[in-house]
């Protein structure tokens, strides 16, 4: 079969591309996704996000290599494996990033990615509950809503942030980012607003879009240095599909570099070691891996306002029934809606840490229920300097790649994380939280010295689930794609997903990924 465009991966970026490229009936598009449909209650119910995160039918469930600066722990790296990708199992927090993040991208030689140039795409994505203004959109496909979660702990937490001297920001996606408040969410009418629901579903009825789920793309086919098609395993049969105009790789920050390398694009020496024929020597493929590393500051709660209540059978069942009947109640929220951005110390130039407040304890990515009422602050430096990589274990496309983040390799990342703990402790000790606040559970009030905090961080810090950067956009010798997201040295092949991010923004990555896909759609349609 032949299409004008082939999109590999039906995650957040792939769904946007599929919609935009088929708006004109002149274009035929084939969309290929290894996973299944995400049209099920476990995806739709906001509070059920852990069900798919830990289900191998809907998640790749990757693990890193032993991380040398985290006491050789292997860290969990979940990635969506279903239509909608990570938008179908993320925490539904919608944060664009700081204006200065994109100004830095511009200063890397990417002039069309300045804040001024990308703001229209952020606005294009959304219908924002706060209404349109200079910074926000009202005509987009995706509903983005200011959280109205009325859990009393959120009000107390924001009061405590104010007590500690932080400004309260009514819109962290607006004129400025710094401050604390309620995050925007992709929750609408009590259900997850996934990109598959709001971008892909409206396009499904178009005759020029063909969607192939449960289809594993094993390899990109080249004619010399021109990408012309793909080899796909569908029901244990290898089939070939060809693209007349372009192939677009949107498989995510782990799978996109993996498929490039399996197809012969990457570091020549690494590919030869794995017995792969080299199509093009591109040193940066799989390099520049970045993520936000979170440390939890946990405190007992003296009031019964936490999610611990819903670990008990009867409250859990009643909350589930309420959601199924009316899409309301505890299950209609993600409870990750409060947080903010601030400086970890006065000498920092811009807000360099992000906090998420969560009204429960998170133990082993939610696999273990807490044993008491409690709440925690997730603290993560926004711009880690440490860099990791994705490499191949073998030439077999079904072997998982080797993922090494090198978290905390840079000493300043560790210093910033320690500073996060001090800022968090100051907030959690304020009068507004006094009636709720019990003792500090972690790190524990006895852990005060740098060495003690370093050990707590190395033993307990976890991913914020924001891997990016492995096919980075740029003008330097380690760049994989150019400013227009075209793979360097190759014809008819682009990468459009979080892997092209040159430097991680101050954000949860879903919103930036959608912005990249909206901009890419225009580049592709205009053949730029």
The verdict on whether omega for the bond into residue 451 sits within 30 degrees of 0, i.e. cis, is no
The closest alpha carbon to 395, from 276, 287, 280, 268, belongs to 276
User: Of 270, 373, 383, 466, which residue is the catalytic one?
Assistant: 466
Q: Could you tell me the sign of the dihedral formed by the alpha carbons of 20, 23, 28, 30, in that order?
A: positive
Is there a catalytic annotation at residue 280? no
- pLDDT band of residue 175 (cuts 50, 70, 90) is very high
Q: What 3-state class would DSSP assign to 19?
A: helix
The closest alpha carbon to 289, from 28, 79, 95, belongs to 79
**Which pLDDT value is given to residue 211?**
98
**Which pLDDT value is given to residue 349?**
87
Average pLDDT, the chain: 97
- pLDDT band of residue 310 (cuts 50, 70, 90) is very high
Q: Rounded distance, CA 78 to CA 63, Å? A: 8
Q: Could you tell me the sign of the dihedral formed by the alpha carbons of 486, 228, 10, 82, in that order?
A: negative
**Which pLDDT value is given to residue 430?**
98
- In order of their start, the domains of the chain are 2-40+203-287+468-525 (3.50.50.60), 148-182+293-381+408-460 (3.30.410.40)
Q: What percent of the chain has pLDDT over 70?
A: 100
| pLDDT tens, residue by residue, 385-443 | 999 999 999 999 999 999 999 999 999 999 999 999 999 999 999 999 999 999 999 99
Asked if 292 contacts 380 with a C-beta cutoff of 8 angstroms, the reply is yes
| pLDDT tens, residue by residue, 334-381 | 999 999 999 998 888 899 999 999 999 999 998 999 999 999 999 999
Residue with tokens 């840490």: 353
**Which pLDDT value is given to residue 101?**
97
Asked if 337 contacts 147 with a C-beta cutoff of 8 angstroms, the reply is yes
Q: Rounded distance, CA 275 to CA 271, Å? A: 6
DSSP state of 334: -
Provide the H-helix boundaries in 164-300.
Answer: 195, 201-203, 252-262, 268-273
* pLDDT, average across residues 316-342: 96
The pTM of the full predicted model, rounded to 2 decimals, is: 0.97
Which uninterrupted H or E stretch holds 89? Answer: none
**Which pLDDT value is given to residue 449?**
97
The closest alpha carbon to 69, from 455, 354, 446, 394, belongs to 455
| pLDDT tens, residue by residue, 15-43 | 999 999 999 999 999 999 999 999 999 99
């Amino acid at each position: 079969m032949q299409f004008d465009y082939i999109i590999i991966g039906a995650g957040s970026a792939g769904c946007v591309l599929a919609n935009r490229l088929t708006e004109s009936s002149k274009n035929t598009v084939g969309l290929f996704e290894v996973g299944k449909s995400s049209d099920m209650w476990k995806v739709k119910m906001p509070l059920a996000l852990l069900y798919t995160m830990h289900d191998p039918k809907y998640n790749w469930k990757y693990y890193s290599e032993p991380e040398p600066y985290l006491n050789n722990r292997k860290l969990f790296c979940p990635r969506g494996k279903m239509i909608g990708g990570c938008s179908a199992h993320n925490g539904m927090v919608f944060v664009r990033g700081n204006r200065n993040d994109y100004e830095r991208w511009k200063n890397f030689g990417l002039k069309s990615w300045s804040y001024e140039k990308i703001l229209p795409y952020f606005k294009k994505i959304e219908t924002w509950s706060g209404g349109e203004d200079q910074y926000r959109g009202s005509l987009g496909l995706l509903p983005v809503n200011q959280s109205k979660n009325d859990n009393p702990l959120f009000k107390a937490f924001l009061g405590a942030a104010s007590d500690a001297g932080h400004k309260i920001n009514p819109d962290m996606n607006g004129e400025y980012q710094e401050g604390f408040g309620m995050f925007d969410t992709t929750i609408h009418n009590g259900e997850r607003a996934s990109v598959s629901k709001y971008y892909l579903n409206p396009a499904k009825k178009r005759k020029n879009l063909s969607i192939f789920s449960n289809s594993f793309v094993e390899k990109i086919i080249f004619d010399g240095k021109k990408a012309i098609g793909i080899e796909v395993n569908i029901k244990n049969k290898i089939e070939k599909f060809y693209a007349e105009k372009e192939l677009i790789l949107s498989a995510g920050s782990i799978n996109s570099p993996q498929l490039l390398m399996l197809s012969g694009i990457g570091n020549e020496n690494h590919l030869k070691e794995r017995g792969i024929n080299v199509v093009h020597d591109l040193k940066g493929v799989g390099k520049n891996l970045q993520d936000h590393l979170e440390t939890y500051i946990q405190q007992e709660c003296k009031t019964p306002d936490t999610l611990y209540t819903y670990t008990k059978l009867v409250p859990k069942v009643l909350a589930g029934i309420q959601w199924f009947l009316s899409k309301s109640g505890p299950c209609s929220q993600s409870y990750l809606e409060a947080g903010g951005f601030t400086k970890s110390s006065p000498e920092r130039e811009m807000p360099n840490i992000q906090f998420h407040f969560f009204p429960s304890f998170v133990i082993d990515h939610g696999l273990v229920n807490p044993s008491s009422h409690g709440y925690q602050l997730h603290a993560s430096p926004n711009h880690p300097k440490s860099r990791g990589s994705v490499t191949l274990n073998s030439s077999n496309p079904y072997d998982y790649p080797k993922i090494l983040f090198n978290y905390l390799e840079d000493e300043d990342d560790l210093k910033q994380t320690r500073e996060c703990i001090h800022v968090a402790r100051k907030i959690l000790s304020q009068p507004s939280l006094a009636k709720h606040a019990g003792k500090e559970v972690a790190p524990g009030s006895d852990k005060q010295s740098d060495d003690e905090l370093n050990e707590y961080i190395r033993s307990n810090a976890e991913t914020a689930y924001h891997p990016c950067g492995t096919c980075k956009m740029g003008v330097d010798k380690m760049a994989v794609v150019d400013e227009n997201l075209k793979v360097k040295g190759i014809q008819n092949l682009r990468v459009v997903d979080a892997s092209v991010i040159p430097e991680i923004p101050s954000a949860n990555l879903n919103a930036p990924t959608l912005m990249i896909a909206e901009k890419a759609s225009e580049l592709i349609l205009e053949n730029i």
